[in-house]
Amino acid sequence: MSTNPFDDRRPSRSRPSRPRLRTTDNDAEPAIWAARHVEWPIPTALSLSNYQKLQRASKQAGSQMGIDETAQETAGTEEEKAEASYFSGFMSRVLNPTNADEDEKEEEPISSPSGSRPLRSPRPRCVATANSWMVAALECQVTGGPPLRLVSRWNVRRMGGVDQWMALPPPVSGGDGRVLHVFVDPTGCHTLISAKNGEAYYHHSSLKVIQKLAGFGRNADGGWSKDMTGVTASSQAHRKSSSVNVQSGMSVGSYVTAVAWDRERGTEGSTKKILLGTNTGEIYEYALVSPNTNEDQEDTYAKPILLHQLNSDASVTGLAFERLRTGLLVLACTSGRNKRTRFYTFYSAHSSSFRMVMADEAHASLVELPGSLDYADLRICNDQICLRTATGIYYGTIDRAQSGPAFAGGSMIMESGILPYGEGKGSIPVSLALTPHHIITLSENNEVRFLNRVAQKVIQKEKVDWALPSSSSNLDESHLAMAELMMDVRRPDQVWLRRARSLVHISSSQEDRDVWKYTLFKCLEMPVGRGRSNTDAGVMTEEEKAQEALFGQAKSLCTHPSQKAVLTAVRAEYHLSQGRAELGAKYLAQCPPVLKPFADTAVRLALPMLNIDDPESYGGSAMAREALKSNTPLITFLTDKMRVSKNSNDKMTCTMIGAWLTELYLHDRDASAASKGALMQFLTSNVHNMDAKTIIKILSSHDVSALECAGFANISGDIETAVNAALRIESDTNDSVVDALRILNDAPFERAEPLYYKHATTLLARAPVLAGKSFLSRYTHGLSPNRLLPSIMFYERLRQDRATHLQAAKSLLSPRGRSGTGDSKNTESFDTGRNMFGSGVEVQVLSGVAGMGSFVDSGEVSAQYLEGVIKLGCRSSAIYSFLISLYVKLENEDPLFKFLSAHVPAASMASDASKKAGLAFGDESLAGPLDMSYALRTILATGRHFRSAIKLYMGFGMRQQAVELALKVDPSLARELAQDSVELEERKRLWLMIAKNAASEGMNSAEVDVVSKVVSVLKDCGPDVLSIEDVLPFLPDFAQIDQIKDEICEALTSYSSKIEGFLKEMNESDQACDSLRQEISRLRTHRMEMKSDARCAYANRAVLSAGEPFYVFPSGYVVLESALKREVLPYLNERQRRRVAEIEREFKVSSKQSRQRDPKFDSLQAELDGLIAAECPLTGSIMVDSIGRGFSDDLADASFMHKPSNMGDLNQNTATV
């Protein structure tokens, strides 16, 4: 951290006193802008030691750059020498405390080592501020050489000493080295310093040295660069290739007077591309990059590139660019003494290149402003611009929305104009500043004026008193410099006022306090066309749209709810006075009740409609009185109020306002169809915020159809009221029933379910097809078919009654019926010409059972619904039974038979218990929901549909009864049923029945061919079921043998073949018995050899010395009986394990002697051997089954088996198995 070389603790007698602001206006309201003095830590003189340090640093920097120091001693213009003489004389005596009391003739030269050096205050435009950093360029004049140029950086937020002091290198010989401009980028990190001789210097906040930029002014050796001639880059922008060189480097005699920073993309490491303006009207493209940055340096320029030459030789005093949504905009202004002030705009759509922007002449514009000015300040804040001219302040707004005439060759600045200065001496300000809402000017007589941009008038004046010291020894430099206003780009609402070393901070915490008010006044003063015709009353003109936009802008500027309330009230009254009553009512609804009470406003809007002349209601405006004669303003007001209540969930207020709105809509609904649609739209959008019953009462009190009431009730969720209202409608087309069904279908099932049961009869009678579909669609939601069944049954009974009445009516209309004397008043009229729902017939009932207005007869609806619910999984026995009853009544048996085929089980599934129980099933799972007993009784009672009865008999497993019934109806069906039997005895019995029936039918009909019928039965059943001797009893007593000769021969042949087969089977059995006897004899003498030291495969014990029985297997393994039992028992089934336990108990109870005498124990031992030693446990199926078992942790299992190595040793004992 570097020390401050100017930290002089001695009190300075030459410091200026603090300025004082005096308010010229005596307003009661506090001023918007305030000011405070800020101590700027810049001393008036440098001590000799600090001066020498800085001078050495300057010379060292110059030597590093190669600048000739000897040439510097004689360099400088006459103006610089005069200024040096002035500072070396007068200021040395005043500001040097060591020489203050000496005589003027005997004063010590300024270069004396014992004296301090006066520090000149910064020149105008040599101080810049950005991001709370203030950078100033100062000079310390010395005798006999160029002044020592210094740069200071100070953070105004810290309010301490100067953070950095740096010395500029000495200027190159051959020009005026005075610093004229200092520019700081928005980040406050990059500083560009411009000297009059064309040189430019760069400083970054992270460095302690200042760099001289190449391409600006002379080189270090005093010469000029060779490539400083060429054309502008904009002239070559549209050319793909060109042999003409673009100028690189600043022109001779030019120096930087304006800089356009990249406020969006600039960073602390790089400024990105920037624009430089010069005193000769040139614009250059350049970029500043910190040496310590790690960013991409693609925008680095070795020298500035000449971008464009303005058509003016005046200095560029203002330069800026803005990135718009579709392109790039460049702003520039030029001015000078005895030269016209000009304002330029350059724009190129869809291009971000400065060269293309400058080359696009179609979108470039030039505004030549009257008068001339030495330096025209161009200020930009947000999208607002202002420019100080000789006659006034040129202002405007950047057209970011592309709404202006830019694409037609106009300027990109809209709402532009010149705000004239006040009259009198010193009316032209010397400096200018722009804030978001105000323009601040500084006059020559130190008066600060604050102009509101919207009102375009001065709202505050402040007088700055720069107090002079009382004695000549404490001379202030403030009278030697012109005051100026400075803006901080990052803090546009804060402005700095500087004069010499004095700083005043001007700021406001409520700058936008009165902006809304001025904007509102501007809206009211806008000229808008009046007296529009009624045809375009609802259409706003362009002027009115602009006025509405300005009203909206004024509202956005309000910072307090009370301001917004006042603005809304004024806005509403203004629109009412202009005849825009609907728009005025809309804003009246937005006013708080304190300003516009609800009751007073509503009555005010309603009085003209009631032909009550109250001037206060329309404010004396004839247009307002005419516009308030309709209900539209009041409806608009109430609708907006209701919207507020809806957002706050105030249902009571919504109901009251909604009731009033309903009455208003009903009053206007007869005027036009649009009003009727508006009523339905209002009811639909606000249905959940109003009490449905209240609204329905209002609708019912007017001439409103029940269908409209039903629609509102349905939307409101009052399903019962909606359905009742719909069903009360008498209509020839039954649209009301359709609406009722639509309401039920769309409603939540929990609320619609009871209404289905309640109105099922009516729905079926008037729209059976749609009702059936609705019932079926709701079954999956939980609609119970059992609860709908009474209504369906009643509908079917009505169908039967109506059929009877219809038949009676036809008989009355016949000639024979007319001859009677019956009374026709109680008859029923009918209309067969209507075919509305499917193939049903509508009958108009004058007097009947139900007393309904209309009835639609559909014979398929009930059956289709019941079939549908059964397919969806209904298991109700009542549904099945009623469906059977409907099928039985049909002439066509196919639906019944198809239904039974799907739901009656096959004969093979019937259990023996069901056969024995007659009509009752033994297995309930086979019975299902179909009551077959009821179905069979119902079918048999009709005396038809026998195929279905046979199907039911087969479902019961009663094949014999089915065959008996089939023999009466269809003998061929009986033969099929008998053939399907799987039991031989049953088949034989059934075919005997068929044969007997065939024989009896032949004899009863006196047919001669009885024998042939019986023989055909024999052929159908096959020789395995019946033979000729089985049917001989059914043949006639005098039948000829020739007719059955073939059958007798076949029977004898069959007997003969059977005898031969039996003999063959006997021979094969004898041979098998002989083989078994031989095998048994061989096994009795079978022997197996083993070693004498053989060990158990599991216990690893010698089997001969173990003292218990053992088993030797053909595989070679020897296992003790106890080990074998322990290994084999887990793999036996439960019955085998119990048998082994029983045999062991028998052995334990009996003694050894008894076991030897009783042969029964030999059989027990053989049975035990067969259970546990049927196979080798290590090579048989037990080993395969034990694969899934885990390994044992017992250490004894380590020697779990031994296999004999030599089975053929002669010194072995033998064991017989």
Q: Per residue in 285-326, pLDDT tens?
A: 999 998 888 776 666 788 899 999 998 889 999 999 998 888
Return the pLDDT at 116. 80
pLDDT higher than threshold 90 for residue 345: yes
Mean pLDDT score, 946-965: 84
Residue 691 backbone phi and psi in degrees, to 5: -75, 120
DSSP string across 616-652: HHHTT-HHHHHHTTSSHHHHHHHHHHHHHHHHTT-HH
pLDDT exceeds 60 at position 963: yes
pLDDT of residue 831: 38
* Of the listed ranges 827-831, 961-965, 1121-1125, the one predicted with least confidence: 827-831
- Tokens representing 733 are 């087309």
Q: Considering only CA atoms, which of 327, 337, 273 is closest in space to residue 305?
A: 273
Q: What are phi and psi of 140, to 5 degrees?
A: -120, 110
Using one digit for the tens of pLDDT, what is the confidence trace for 579-609?
888 888 899 888 998 888 888 888 888 887 7
Q: Which two tokens stand for residue 702?
A: 């007017």
Residue 348: band (very low, low, confident or very high) from pLDDT cuts 50, 70, 90: confident
Average pLDDT over residues 331-347: 92
CA angle at 31 for the pair 29 and 34, rounded to the nearest 5°: 155
3-state secondary structure 1126-1181: HHHHHHCCHHHHHHHHHHHHHHHHCCHHHHHHCCHHHHHHHHHHHHHCCCCCCCCH
Helix (H) or strand (E) holding 424: none
Percent of all residues in the chain with a pLDDT value above 90, rounded to a whole number: 16
SS3 label, residue 379: strand
CA angle (188, 191, 196) in 5-degree steps: 150
Mean pLDDT of 327-350: 90
Average pLDDT over residues 77-94: 37
CA distances from 338 to 97, 154, 332, 424, 1123 (A): 44, 37, 19, 22, 131
Q: What is the pLDDT of residue 172?
A: 83
Task: Indicate the range of 702-716, 876-890, 1077-1091 predicted with least confidence.
Answer: 702-716
pLDDT tens string 549-562 = 888 888 888 888 89
In the DSSP assignment, the letter for residue 736 is H
Nearest CA to 721 out of 708, 734, 730 is that of 708
Return the beta strands (E) in 508-576 as ranges.
none
Q: Which residue has the tokens 């300003």?
A: 595
Question: Which residues neighbour 1133 within 8 Å (Cβ) at sequence distance 6 or greater?
Answer: none
What pLDDT, on a 0 to 100 scale, did the predictor assign at position 26? 44
Q: Is 758 helix (H, G, I), strand (E, B) or coil?
A: helix
710 pLDDT band (50/70/90 cuts)? low
Kindly state the average pLDDT of the residues 44-52. Answer: 85
**Per-residue buried b or exposed e for 419-458, using 16+ beta carbons within 10 Å of the residue's own CB:** bebeeeeeebbbbbbbbebbbbbbbeebbbbbbbbbbeeb
Mean pLDDT of 411-432: 82
Contacts of 761 (CB under 8 A, 6+ apart): 791, 794, 795, 850
The alpha carbon of 737 is separated from its chain's Cα centroid by a whole number of angstroms, namely: 41
pLDDT number for residue 16 = 41
Return the pLDDT at 1085: 75
**Residue 787: per-residue pLDDT:** 92
Strands 270-278 and 256-260: antiparallel
Query: How many other β-carbons are positioned within 10 Å of the β-carbon of residue 1201?
Result: 16
Paired with 1126 in beta bridges are none
Confidence of residue 721 (pLDDT cuts 50, 70, 90): confident
* Residue found under tokens 């520039």: 332
Looking at residues 37-61, what average pLDDT do you find?
Answer: 85
User: How far is the CA of 17 from the CAs of 136, 1018, 1043, in angstroms?
Assistant: 20, 146, 157
SS3 322: strand
Higher pLDDT, 856 or 1055: 856
Distance CA 1148, CA 1142 (A): 10
Lowest mean pLDDT across 74-88, 835-849, 850-864, 1075-1089: 835-849
Which two three-digit tokens encode residue 336? 């000078």
Instruction: Choose between 1017 and 556: higher pLDDT.
Output: 556
Tally Cβ neighbours within 10 Å of residue 360.
19
Give the three-state DSSP class for 46: strand
Pick the more confident residue, 86 or 502: 502
Of 717, 761, 771, 698, the C-alpha closest to 740 is 771
Query: Residue written as tokens 């409209």?
Result: 708
- In this prediction, residue 433 carries a pLDDT of 93
- Decide the pairing of beta strands 457-465 and 447-452: antiparallel
Q: Residue 1033 — pLDDT band, cuts 50, 70, 90?
A: low
Range in 459-468, 997-1006, 1048-1057 with the lowest mean pLDDT: 997-1006
Q: Which helix (H) or strand (E) holds 128?
A: strand 127-130
Please give the pLDDT value at position 242: 61
pLDDT per position as a tens digit, 805-864: 878 877 776 655 444 444 433 333 333 333 322 333 232 333 333 344 478 888 888 989
> Taking residues 989-1017, what's their average pLDDT?
69
Mean pLDDT within 345-349:
88
> Is the separation of the CB atoms in 575 and 528 below 8 Å?
no
Residue whose structure tokens are 């359709």:
738
Q: Residue 1165 is which amino acid?
A: Q
Cα 927 from Cα 903, distance rounded (Å): 9
Does residue 1191 or residue 775 have the better pLDDT?
Answer: 775
Between 342 and 1060, the higher pLDDT residue? 342
Contacts 24+ apart (CB under 8 A), 22-30: 22/462, 22/463, 22/464, 22/465, 23/460, 23/461, 23/462, 23/463, 24/447, 24/461, 24/462, 24/463, 25/460, 25/461
CA end-to-end span of the chain: 112
What is the C-alpha separation between 442 and 451, in angstroms, rounded?
Answer: 11
| Type of residue found at 612 | I
Per-residue pLDDT reduced to its tens digit, 757-776? 999 998 888 889 999 999 99
Return phi, psi of residue 25, to 5°.
-95, 140
Q: How many CA atoms lie within 13 A of 924 on its CB side?
A: 0
Q: 496 or 1002: whose pLDDT is higher?
A: 496
CA dihedral 628, 631, 635, 638 (to 10 degrees): 70
| Residue tagged 């936008």 (tokens) | 512
On the question of pLDDT at 440 being above 80, the answer is: yes
When pLDDT is cut at 50, 70 and 90, the band that residue 204 belongs to is: very high
For residue range 248-285, list pLDDT tens digits in order: 888 888 999 999 999 999 999 899 999 999 999 999 99
* Distance set, CA 1102 to CA 395, 1099, 1111, 1121 (Å): 124, 9, 12, 13
**Largest Cα–Cα distance in the chain?**
187
Write down the pLDDT at residue 98: 36
User: Which range has the worst mean pLDDT, 539-553, 610-624, 1114-1128?
Assistant: 610-624
Give the whole-angstrom CA distance, residue 881 versus residue 929.
9
CB 875 within 8 A of CB 929: yes
In total, the chain counts a number of residues equal to: 1217
Determine the Cα–Cα distance for residues 904 and 956; give it in Å rounded to an integer. Answer: 9
When pLDDT is cut at 50, 70 and 90, the band that residue 426 belongs to is low
**Using CA atoms, how far apart are residues 625 and 609, in angstroms rounded to an integer?**
9
| Distance from C-alpha of 230 to C-alpha of 248, rounded to nearest angstrom | 8
The answer, yes or no, to whether residue 1040 has pLDDT greater than 60, is no
Reference 1127, options 1061, 1181, 1065; nearest CA is 1181
Output the pLDDT for position 195: 93
Measured distance CA(929)–CA(785) in Å, rounded: 14
